[in-house]
Chain A
Amino acid sequence: MTQHPASDVLDTGERRRAEDAPPSIADLIDEATIQSIAEEAWSALVGEEEYLVPLLGDPVQDAISSWVDVVGPWNGSVVITTARTTAEELSRCLLKEHAPPVIDDEDIEDGLGELANVVGGNVKAVLPGPSALGLPEVGSAPAAGPDTCRVDLLWRGQSLTISVQGSAGAPLDQ
Chain B
Amino acid sequence: MGAGRRRPQLRLPPAEGEVTVRALVIDDSRVMRRIVTGILKDLGYEVQQAGHGREGLDVLDGGWVPDLVCVDWNMPVMDGLQFVSAVRSNPAWRQVTIMMVTSESEHGQIVRALAAGAHEYVIKPFTADAIRDKLALLGLLPQEVVL
Q: How many A-B residue pairs have CB under 8 A?
A: 69
State the CA gap A42–B118 with chains docked (Å).
Answer: 27
Asked whether A144 is an interface residue with its Cβ less than 8 Å from the other chain, the reply is no
Pair A114/B32 contact, Cβ less than 8 Å: yes
> A110-B30, A114-B32, A133-B74 are contacts. A120–B125 as well, Cβ < 8 Å?
no
Interface segment among B4-12, B18-26, B99-107: the answer is: B99-107
Size bracket of the B interface: 20 to 34
Please tell me if the beta carbons of B103 and A96 are within 8 angstroms of each other in the complex. Answer: no
A130 to B108, CA, bound (A): 9
Task: Verify if B85 is at the interface (C-beta below 8 Å from A).
Answer: no
Q: A94-B35, A95-B35 are in contact. Are A121 and B29 (CB under 8 A)?
A: no
Interface bracket on A: 20 to 34
* A98 in complex: contacting residue of B35, B103, B104, B105, CB < 8 Å: B35
Residues of chain A lying within 8 A (CB to CB) of residue B38: 95-98
Does A117 have its Cβ within 8 Å of any Cβ on chain B?
Answer: yes
Contacts of B37 in A (CB 8 A): 98
**Interface set of A (CB-CB < 8 Å, partner B):** 40-41, 43-45, 91, 94-98, 106-107, 110-111, 113-114, 117-118, 120-122, 124-125, 129-130, 133-136
